[in-house]
A and B are shown apart, each in its own frame.
Chain A
Amino acid sequence: MSSVQKPDSFQETVFKLKRYWADRGAIIQEPYDIEVGAGTMCPETFLRVLGPKPYRVAYVQPSRRPADGRYGENPNRLYKHQQLQVILKPSPDDVIDQYLGSIEAIGIDLKKHDIKFEEDNWEAPTLGAWGIGWQVMLDGLEISQFTYFQQCGGMDLDLVPAELTYGLERLSAFLQGADSVYDMDWAPGVRYRDVRFADELQSSVYNFEMADVDRLRRLFDEYEAECKRLLGLYDEKSAKKQRFPVLPAYEQVLKCSHLFNLLDARGAISVTERVGVIKRVRDLAVGVAKIWADQQA
């Protein structure tokens, strides 16, 4: 690559990362079609890491964090950011080298840059999940989280997966030398702003100002009730247990989780309530994980 060449657009960087992981045996999934706070919550991660079957997958997941919305005014903070999520189960011995290879693959000559792995263990109380790992720093910029999963859905894992997540906006802004994510190119000639600004602005207005708290609460209760109803119907001794809709049950959990985040951003969750609501979501997630694992066994 010559130094005068225009840097890759956002989508070009995404293509290269997907290609890189596809070449290493990962299935390239498409984003999950229900709101999630992070790529980890998609069934492709949360459920696939359970059980004894090896799996490799990569996907871009738009991840929604209502409280992080800034009306499109903050150059680095977004309500919905794009995460590239990679799961390598089990993690190969040279997993870090493979990860570094992906960074080289998008045009960063690591001999000319400073890479550090700084301790950062991950925990998701709503999922009963935790792992050991690092944040990866590139010239002082956190570009990735690297986690060896240890537990998920409250269960120890048979095969230890490595989870690599890339903050795509950060990485692409770095490559393009842009001080604001809105100024970088999504595609040649099309800015990130053109694609995403309205979403950021309007979602912030809704999340912070207009979301109907009472209705969100009712929705939370409804999704929770539907999930509980389903979980109560599972019979582990049934010969037809493979037909049991554990994936649809999990979708109710994701709905609950997102509603909780919305209520939280709206300032509607009181001190005493908070711990209780997190526990309600975790209980559902743990219930789903157990059934999934039982179906896989």
Chain B
Amino acid sequence: MNFLLEIGTEEIPHWMIPGALAQLAKFDVLGEVLSVDATPRRLVLRATNVPERTPEDQLIVKGPPISAGEKAAAGFAKKQGVELSAMQRVGDYYELRKLVPGRRGIEILAESLAAAILGIQWPKTMYWVGGQSGGKSGPRFIRPIRWIVALLGDEVIPFEIAGVKSGNITRGHRQLGSSSIPVTIKNYESELRKNFVILSSDERRKKIESEAKTLGANIDADLLETLTFITEFPTAIRGNFDSSYLGLPAEVLTTVMKHHQKYFSVESAPGKLAPYFVAVMNSSGDPDGLVKHGNERVLRARFNDARFFWDVDQQKPLADRVEDLAKVTFHVKLGSYLEKTNRVVAIVKELNGGPDAERAALLSKADLTTEMVKEFTDLQGVVGGLYAKAQGESAAVSRAIYDHYKPLSMDDSIPETREGQIVALADKLDTLRECFRIGMVPTGSKDPFALRRAAQGVVKILAGTPIDYNFLNLFEGDLRNFMLERVEYYLRDVCGYRYDEVSAVLANPLVTLDRARVHLDKVVQLRSAPEFESLVRSYKRIDHILKQEYFAQGTPFDFLLLEPGPEMDLHDAYMALSGRGATIEEAAATLRPLLDTFFEKVMVVVPDERVRLRRLALLYNVQKAFSWLADFTKLVIAGEQK
């Protein structure tokens, strides 16, 4: 039988809907889930092949052992509500075979659906039912549930949530549809459409995209997704604004349109805004132009505000605002942004950033006191950069301020200029150091100060900048370990090096990220050489011997005492290679066969201490020819467990 469930609610936050649908798709409805759909006001599950009745089943209940006697069996039978004669003897035990009759699917669903619906997990829930069965202990959901359609075939699956009884009555669009529409499984979607609800989010998305494109919109994927889930019947319209507003920075105009008003912007040429916007209504049309007019009016006020903020903000240049940062909290325990600014400037000095980077660092947070950033917080940094430029700061300074929050994610680019990279690095470095200093360390899913993102940003900048910073000097203690985890993540998951390669290279103290990558590339290159596996095996063997003999430093020895043959050959080859600074590939190619022969013919651990120490020292030196690159014992070769 076919199944339909529609949970009718008040408007659900758009960003939570996809997560809820994923859970809805996993509902056990005894049949095969066909589809899940949603609008802001409804979550819908459709299924088929739900059995009218579940099959009859046999339940075996084990009774007492036969040795316990008939009395025990009689007691057991009574408890089960059957005659003793119904009991069977199976092996050493009494057994009762009960026939469990099949049940109607509709009954099972009527019992299970309410709990399943209320079991959907949301980021934040509310209660809305008052009184004794309500309050905090009452039902919780993302928003109040106002109606429920639950059908199996032609029948209503009867249940109740928060005083709302399931039925076959749905509701249409708030303004354009009926608020009481009887439906069947068959006509459900078409009845909704007649009442101005497009159930399929794909269809709404496509409708918005094609209409907006026709109107010239610059489609933003995130905004498209938002609009898809805040509308039941989306229709795009185009509005205008006075072209004099195009004198404001494009960043400001776009932020107002996209983030504040949820409009698409329109471009006259790539990167050049046109004085239009595309709004998406939750409605079928705007024949009198009222909606267009209203949106234009709001946008005009917003742009006026932005222009006003710009003009007012220019009355006090960024340089004069730095002192005001004493009144802006960075963090309750970490003081003000003025203190942060001073620390960031000091770090930039330590990193030899130069005068432009220092100037940029000094001004970097001053835009937090501007009206523009108070209104458009997403634009912090960007506004500072624009203001710096307008106030005659050099291009290097203003660009560095503009970029210093970058990268905002692993996908975002790093600042363009050297100064920008240094200021961005110093800013994040300071946040990380200070938070770790007071023990505000990310744990599990808790990372309120987004330190992982800051750390990942640092790694991305370090990896992308030509300036090589000494990792050991930048980070200490717990923070260094935290950063090393981020480095490992970066090398593995972003750069694609193998797990064992990363461990092998990072086993040596990491000096710079650039060096780490050079070493990793060499390891990768060696790995493809024919001598790799045997080399790794020899390396591990050397490592094992040296550890067993507690041999941990090179001892000078008289090479004239070396025995001719494999021992002398290995030594000579090693000396020749290190004498002319041979590459590791050459060393590998040359030493590998000599090592094989050495281990075949020469005993290292012999009773004569002079000989033993001499041979150990030789192996120690040979190992050093490779260990500077990576700890080869961490490399996994064929036939080994990781």
What A residues does B294 contact at CB under 8 A? 113-114, 138-141, 174
**Residue pair A179, B300 in contact (C-beta under 8 Å):** yes
Is A32 at the interface (CB under 8 A from chain B)? no
Residue in chain B with minimal CB distance to A141: B298
Stretch of B10-18, B505-513, B600-608 on the interface side: B10-18
Question: CB within 8 Å of B: which residues of A?
Answer: 74-77, 90-91, 93, 96-97, 100, 110-119, 121, 132, 134, 138-141, 148, 150, 156-160, 174, 177, 179, 267, 270-272, 274-275
Question: CB within 8 Å of A: which residues of B?
Answer: 10-11, 13-14, 40, 124, 126-131, 134-136, 143-144, 146, 174-176, 179, 230-231, 261-263, 279, 281-283, 286-288, 290-291, 293-295, 297-301, 304-305, 308, 326-329, 332, 335-336
Residue in chain B with minimal CB distance to A108: B290
Q: A138-B294, A274-B329 are in contact. Are A76 and B301 (CB under 8 A)?
A: yes
- For the complex, give the distance between the alpha carbons of A132 and B300 in Å: 30
**Residue pair B283, A159 in contact (C-beta under 8 Å):** no
What A residues does B336 contact at CB under 8 A? 271
Q: How far is the CB of B9 from chain A (nearest CB, A)?
A: 11
Other-chain contact of A148, B40, B126, B293 (Cβ < 8 Å): B126
Other-chain contact of B328, A150, A159, A271 (Cβ < 8 Å): A271
**Residue pair B143, A132 in contact (C-beta under 8 Å):** yes
Other-chain contact of A140, B40, B130, B175, B298 (Cβ < 8 Å): B298
**Residue pair A160, B128 in contact (C-beta under 8 Å):** yes
Q: How far is the CB of B296 from chain A (nearest CB, A)?
A: 9
Interface centre among B14, B231, B332 (most CB of A within 10 A): B332
What A residues does B282 contact at CB under 8 A? 114-116
Other-chain contact of B290, A112, A158, A160 (Cβ < 8 Å): A112
**Residue pair B130, A158 in contact (C-beta under 8 Å):** yes
Total contacts A-B at CB 8 Å: 114
Residue in chain B with minimal CB distance to A119: B13
Q: A140-B261, A179-B300 are in contact. Are A114 and B127 (CB under 8 A)?
A: no
**Residue pair B11, A134 in contact (C-beta under 8 Å):** yes
Other-chain contact of B329, A76, A267, A271 (Cβ < 8 Å): A271
**Residue pair B126, A150 in contact (C-beta under 8 Å):** yes
Q: A114-B291, A271-B329 are in contact. Are A158 and B135 (CB under 8 A)?
A: yes
- For the complex, give the distance between the alpha carbons of A116 and B232 in Å: 10
Q: How far is the CB of A160 from chain B (nearest CB, A)?
A: 5
What A residues does B328 contact at CB under 8 A? 271
**Residue pair B297, A179 in contact (C-beta under 8 Å):** yes
- For the complex, give the distance between the alpha carbons of A195 and B298 in Å: 24
Other-chain contact of B14, A97, A119, A139 (Cβ < 8 Å): A119
**Residue pair A118, B230 in contact (C-beta under 8 Å):** yes
Can you list 15 A-B contacts with CB-CB less than 8 angstroms, sorted by A residue number? A96-B10, A100-B175, A114-B282, A116-B230, A119-B11, A139-B295, A140-B261, A140-B262, A140-B263, A140-B298, A158-B130, A160-B129, A267-B327, A270-B326, A271-B329
What B residues does A160 contact at CB under 8 A? 126-130, 134-135
- For the complex, give the distance between the alpha carbons of A52 and B129 in Å: 13
**Residue pair B283, A91 in contact (C-beta under 8 Å):** no
Q: How far is the CB of B208 from chain A (nearest CB, A)?
A: 14
Q: How far is the CB of B282 from chain A (nearest CB, A)?
A: 6
- For the complex, give the distance between the alpha carbons of A296 and B174 in Å: 39
